[in-house]
Amino acid sequence: MDLMEGVGESSSPPRSFGCFSNYDVRNDVYTRLVEGGHEEAVSNPELFREQLDAHFNRLPASYGLDVNMDRVDDVVLHQKLLGLAKDSEKQPVYFIRFVEVHLLFSASGKS
């Protein structure tokens, strides 16, 4: 029996990192903001969509990979912070959010 080397049915074609298929995270972000009743997204959806697209377009494609879909409001916050940072009179610009950390200890008493 001769074995032939080639592409098996379980093999997938190589992926290009420059293309994320037809999936675009900005659509999901926009939809979640509208469905969540975000004030700006609901009051003027066309303008909000343009601003959201401009925000994503000015950043590298990898930004979309880092978006936490459970916290889509962070995208709008990031957009606003970048807008504020353009004004040299308002620099530096920052936002602080308190985070609660729970430490878990093992039976040996080490974390």
Domain map (residue ranges) of the chain: 25-90
**Which residue type is seen at 82?**
L
84 Cβ contact list (under 8 Å, min separation 6): 90, 93
pTM reported for the whole predicted model: 0.62
33 closest CA partner among 82, 70, 81, 86: 70
User: How many alpha carbons fall within 13 Å on the CB side of residue 15?
Assistant: 6
Q: Which residues of 37-61 are buried (b: 16+ CB within 10 A; e: fewer)?
A: ebeebeeeeeebbeebeebbeeeee
Render each residue's pLDDT in the chain as its tens digit; 111 residues: 555 554 444 444 444 444 444 468 999 999 999 999 999 999 999 999 999 999 999 999 889 999 999 999 999 999 998 888 888 787 777 778 787 888 887 776 665
